[in-house]
Chains A and B, each alone.
Chain A
Amino acid sequence: MQPFDSIRAIQPAGMNAIIVYFTGEDVAAANAWCQRWAHTVRAAKPDWLTSLLPSYDSLVISFKPECIDFHGVYQFLRHCRTVKNDPSGDPQHHRVQVWYGADDANDLKEISRHTGLTTDEIIALHTETTYRVFAVGFAPGFAYLGELDPRLACPRLDSPRQHVPEGAVAIADRQTAVYPSESPGGWHLLGLTNAPLFDSESASARFAVGDTVQFVGISEQEYNNGEQHDN
């Protein structure tokens, strides 16, 4: 399967799936192509499609083998005209309130040691960037946000924690994220948010790929009052 246009490689991912890799000067550019292609395939609703798994610079397209083979999927992609916007709705912008330095989620000292920044500088850098959701995965509603200011980049913990609390705001390398539910995790923690990120009743996640997110610092008291002002 020869690459073409924005597609730099295509590989089998089993009998009933292919993985498509996108070009781009940097991860943001490749991710934009990935999202555009994911929207295009989703909008076309081919009857053979079983699932789409977009990530940073790749897209897994799974199909029903009784309807098509991977050559057919390749031909479909070659004849697609990519659509620019997500037909399922415009990307949302989210403001997420964070109690930085919350007792249960505070690695600010560790982060200072790695970065040489003061707590105030760390919070200022984390809140001044508008992040883009590059991928959703790992756990339900877990959104990989980027890109973090390079001055804030920290490696992962040597050994992952068994329990990261729900709502923990975390960083690793050039990424940041919020843990939608309690889980193990190896990222450094900045604080807590009580913004609901995943609703298990409707099984819907708040952040979708392509959305933008900005963090806003709040006090412990505001956190405990639980006020939320989204968008």
Chain B
Amino acid sequence: MTTDKCCALMVKSPGMQALIMDDGRGAAQQQGFSESGPMDDDAFFWANWLCENPSSTPQIEWVGEAEFEATQTINVAVTGPGAEVQVNGKSHAMWTTLRLKAGDRLSVTPDNMGTRHYLAVSGRWQVPKVARSASTVIREHLGGLSRDGSALVTGDAIPIDVRITEDIRELPEAMRPAYSPDTPFAVIPGYQYNWFSPVSQQLFFSSVYKITPQIDRMGYRLSGTAIQCSEHALRSEGITLGAIQLPPDGQPIVMMRDRQTLGGYPKLGCVSTNDISRLAQMVPGQPIEFEAQDAEQARATYLLKLRQRQLVTGSQYT
């Protein structure tokens, strides 16, 4: 438990797991740090915009039912898939700026257990950094309030130099992520794609996979048609976000934000970064499908998304 006199927000209930998260340690991967950063980058981006924060400002990312208490007047925003948001027992909207007074209780109850939610607070977060990031990586014992990788616990107080603006922002409905499990997830073939026979490649793209309970910030294990690889001798190499590993049992693992930097399992490609946030919001038991997409098409989709974001935020905000 960490308390501080300039605290702005107190954790009353952290749900299943609540972590301090910013945009991660991408540049420190060559020293062996995992990339880290928000699992749902779309929800994270908009929560900071709603609070008029720079886009890399830390937030709380959590799973499960959580409750927080304002210890002074603050502007906050809650984003993520559908959830019941209440302030002192009264319903409020997600995807909008909310004003809380000292003593106000904010509770969030997700519609589906297992989804990830984000809480942004306007102002400068006075939280420690390791390798230029406040992101918590439990496996690496680093980041977070005490720098040691601990998740938030009841009673933790978050120190923030609060900034209050009168502006209340709301994200237009059309700009909110759809979180649809039914749209296939785009995969850019790459890495050892040619080590898989044309039959295996086709099997992968024509099969339905289920999200297993073995999902965490490191990787998402899927179950379904086993995809065999003709070769297994591979020297450890860099693993990018969304890389699809096929271990000897043939069940795919999609590598997520807290993946290790290097690994030696064959990979048939990567889930497009455009679809990673949506994948991060799937819960165990959900069926999903993949479709092949070339890198240029994925890039075009990404540039379009950036353009649409800028129509809302203005070109200065990235």
Q: Which residues of A contact B (CB under 8 A)?
A: 11-17, 19, 27, 50-60, 62, 65-66, 69-70, 135-142, 144, 181, 200, 203-205, 209
Q: What chain A residues lie within 8 Å of B260 (beta carbons)?
A: 137-139
Q: Which residue of A lies closest to B141 (CB)?
A: A181
Q: How far is the CB of B65 from chain A (nearest CB, A)?
A: 31
- Say yes or no: A14-B303 contact (C-beta < 8 A), given A136-B31, A139-B140: no
B189 on interface, CB distance cutoff 8 Å: yes
Q: What chain A residues lie within 8 Å of B196 (beta carbons)?
A: none
Q: How far is the CB of B259 from chain A (nearest CB, A)?
A: 11
CB–CB A140/B188 < 8 A = no
B27 on interface, CB distance cutoff 8 Å: yes
CB–CB A15/B243 < 8 A = no
Q: How far is the CB of A95 from chain B (nearest CB, A)?
A: 21
Q: What chain A residues lie within 8 Å of B272 (beta carbons)?
A: 14-15
Bound-state Cα–Cα, A56 to B250, Å: 25
Q: Which residues of B contact A (CB under 8 A)?
A: 26-33, 130-132, 140-142, 147, 188-193, 235-243, 260-262, 269-270, 272-274, 295-296, 298-299, 302-303, 306
Q: What chain B residues lie within 8 Å of A62 (beta carbons)?
A: 26, 240
CB–CB A140/B30 < 8 A = no
Q: Which residue of A lies closest to B132 (CB)?
A: A203
Contact of A14 among B26, B31, B243 (CB under 8 A): B243
Bound-state Cα–Cα, A168 to B23, Å: 32
Bound-state Cα–Cα, A51 to B243, Å: 16
What 10 pairs between A and B have smallest CB-CB spacing? A53-B238, A60-B238, A137-B262, A12-B190, A203-B131, A14-B270, A15-B298, A137-B261, A56-B235, A58-B237
Q: What chain A residues lie within 8 Å of B296 (beta carbons)?
A: 69
Bound-state Cα–Cα, A57 to B237, Å: 8
Bound-state Cα–Cα, A138 to B130, Å: 17
CB–CB A56/B237 < 8 A = yes
Bound-state Cα–Cα, A53 to B270, Å: 16
Bound-state Cα–Cα, A15 to B192, Å: 16
Q: What chain A residues lie within 8 Å of B188 (beta carbons)?
A: 12, 14-15
